[in-house]
Every structure is written in structure tokens, then in C-alpha cells.
Amino acid sequence: MAQTISLRKGNTRLPPEVNRVLYVRNLPFNISSEEMYDIFGKYGAIRQIRIGTNKDTRGTAFVVYEDIYDAKTAVDHLSGFNVANRYLIVLYYQPAKMNKKFDQKKKEEEIAKMQEKYGVSTKDK
């Protein structure tokens, strides 16, 4: 907490990717909400934690802090933190990058459907 206070006192300019919302990967599948609050709550007040539960999102979570400086401190301290023999990957959530991944998958599926519909094959070339 003392470090976050020192960040606020100085005229510290944060990089543009710094965000209150963190994206956490490589979590143990059996981690509980309480354990998440214990780990991430040490760095500041948490507004919300969302843990992935379906097949595609297991092992990931979103952590939303009340304050951007608390989120920065959490990223600085918890990236590479060992939880149940797994090293956490803590990133700032960047919606543009996340959406690009989903858009790319959609476009690839759309192209495959159109190729199938019109009988076009990329193997002929």
C-alpha cells in the first residue's frame, strides 16, 4: 500500500495500456473466489473477480480493481507469482486485442464456409 501512495504523490504518468481490469492466465482450475480475493486483495480494493468456468476459459480470470494504481501494483507483483505450482500470467485487459482474436476466428470460419459453398479449394494452387 505504501508503494501505491508513493506512485500517487509523484506526478507519475502511466503507460497507455495500464488499466483497472486485469486478465489473469494460467490459474489452477480448482481455484476458488476466496483464494483469488486473498491473492489479489493484498494490492487494493477489488470491485469484481470473474473466473472462467467453461472449457475455453478455464484457468483464466478477470480482476477489476477500484483504483488504477492498485491494478498496476498487482501486475508488478503478481506476474510470475507461483500458485499451486503454476506461474500466473497477469496482463492488463486490452479489449481491442481480445476482439481481434475472436474476429480472426470468425473470419476464418466465414471463409471456410464460403469456400465450401462455392466449391473453391486452396489446395489447387
C-alpha cell at position 72: 498496476
Domain span holding position 88: 19-116
Q: Which of 35-44, 86-95, 100-109 shows the lowest per-residue confidence on average (mean pLDDT)?
A: 100-109
Residue 58: φ, ψ to 5°? -60, 140
Residue 4: φ, ψ to 5°? -65, -35
Interval 99-109: pLDDT, tens: 666 677 778 88
> Can you tell me the distance from the alpha carbon of 12 to that of 44, in angstroms, rounded to the nearest whole number?
18
Q: Is residue 3 part of a domain?
A: no
* DSSP codes of every residue in 34-88: HHHHHHHGGGS-EEEEEE--STTTTT-EEEEESSHHHHHHHHHHHTT-EETTEE-
Q: Is residue 125 part of a domain?
A: no
Does residue 35 contact residue 51 with C-beta atoms inside 8 Å? no
Q: Is residue 9 part of a domain?
A: no
Share of the chain above pLDDT 90, in %: 57
Does the pTM exceed 0.85?
A: no
1 or 78: which leads in pLDDT:
78
Q: Is residue 1 part of a domain?
A: no
Number of structural domains in the chain: 1
Q: Is residue 11 part of a domain?
A: no
Q: What is the pLDDT of residue 125?
A: 46
Share of the chain above pLDDT 70, in %: 83
Quick one: average pLDDT of 59-88?
A: 94
Specify the DSSP element, H or E, that contains 119.
none
Q: What is the pLDDT of residue 122?
A: 67
Does residue 22 contact residue 51 with C-beta atoms inside 8 Å? no
Residue 24: which CATH number?
3.30.70.330
